[in-house]
Structure 1
């Protein structure tokens, strides 16, 4: 993923906050075996210190690939919108001369995967995920010897992902003049389609921190 200097995360807290705000669904990419294409699996995940917790079905095609090459990537994308060229034309030029682009946030985790297959370890993995996704505790106990989870544990495995590198990209035209960025955020809010409003929110948040951007 190409990250221009003006698109880079300003600090670790920026991408960590963005993930913690509910961006917990991503695309897990695993290298294929020789002669086979990579495998990409959409999945929820939770952060546990320097690890990402994921569980997948035992019949998933990933296990031989992970054994062959445990280096994987999990990519999370959000707060994205298409920006028409009319909004990006330089001052004093015809609006139709503007070049369109995409705004988005992307956080890419490079990880070293190991497989969790011990029943109690898998139960603990599920407990940690449920603590994140159902913090009210409104679910049955996750125990190896109790239904409903006990009988289901053999059907899953847990790739435990040790994070070795994080690449964060916040692509919101931060190298453009303040007036331009403010106008685009206003256009997004007025259009209000898809993720336009949260995209405008990210642009305004970055504008508060980078105003104007300097190399």
Structure 2
């Protein structure tokens, strides 16, 4: 992923706070010899204090052999994206049709070392941490070995603990454009108000204020 200096995060806190609430991504696992990579969409929990990611997948998933053969993986998360038409980015002293269209987005790529979790008690603890993250209001029974309703389902899944070893983060929101062009883009995003436009606008304005 190309990251220009103006698209770099201001500090680690920026991408960590973003990742804490953007908890759906794609786990990319190197394929076995002669096979393409596996790309598995999934929910996950990022623990910044421990530098790890927790998730789980069904036991029949075809990627397990590849993951065990090479535990070096990438978790890719992309969101807050919006298409920006060329005229929005045109130079103030030039014709609108000469503006360059682009994409706004936030992307975080975590390079990780994966550990498969098969111990029933460890899987139960991992699942309870996930449920606590996604359902802080409660409402679900605790996962426990041998206990209803989830104990009998533990054999059907495998947990995954990802140790984060490197991070690449990008916030692509016209930070290298002039204030006049940024103001125009922000106004146009608010006017269009399509999916993702509000979040993209907040990133543009927030990074400018910072």
The two structures have a TM-score, normalised by structure 2, of 0.97
Cα separation, 1, equivalents of 2:63 and 2:52 = 19
CA-to-partner distance for each residue in 1:92-117, whole Å, 9 max, x for gaps? Answer: 11101111000000011000001000
Residue pairs, 1:2-151, within 5 angstroms: 2-20=2-20, 22-48=21-47, 49-151=50-152
The separation in 2 between residues aligned to 1:50 and 1:197, in whole angstroms, is 30
Residue 81 of structure 1 aligns to a residue in which SS?
Answer: strand
The Cα of 1:145 is off from its aligned counterpart by 1.1
Q: Distance in 2 between matches of 1:99 and 1:80?
A: 17
Give the number of equivalent residue pairs: 208
Give the TM-score, by structure 1 length: 0.95
Distance in structure 1 (CA, Å) of the matches to 2:201 and 2:10: 18
CA distance in 2, matches of 1:126, 1:146: 14
Distance 2:196 2:123 in 1: 35
Structure-2 separation of matches of 1:64 and 1:51:
22
**Cα distance in 1 for residues equivalent to 2:42 and 2:144:** 23
Unaligned runs of 5+ in 1: 210-215
Once the two structures are TM-superposed, the CA of residue 137 in structure 1 deviates from its matched residue by 2.0
How far has the Cα of 1:157 moved from its partner? Answer: 0.3
Which residue of the partner structure matches residue 175 of structure 2?
A: 174
Q: Deviations over 1:37-91 (max 9, x none)?
A: 0000110000122110010000001111011111000011111000000101112
User: Which runs of at least 4 in structure 1 moved beyond 2 Å after TM superposition?
Assistant: none
Pairwise CA distance, 1:134:
0.7
Unpaired stretches in structure 2, ≥5 consecutive residues? none
C-alpha separation in 1, matches of 2:175 and 2:81: 15
CA distance in 2, matches of 1:182, 1:77: 24
CA shift for structure 1 position 17? 1.2
Shift of 1:19: 1.5
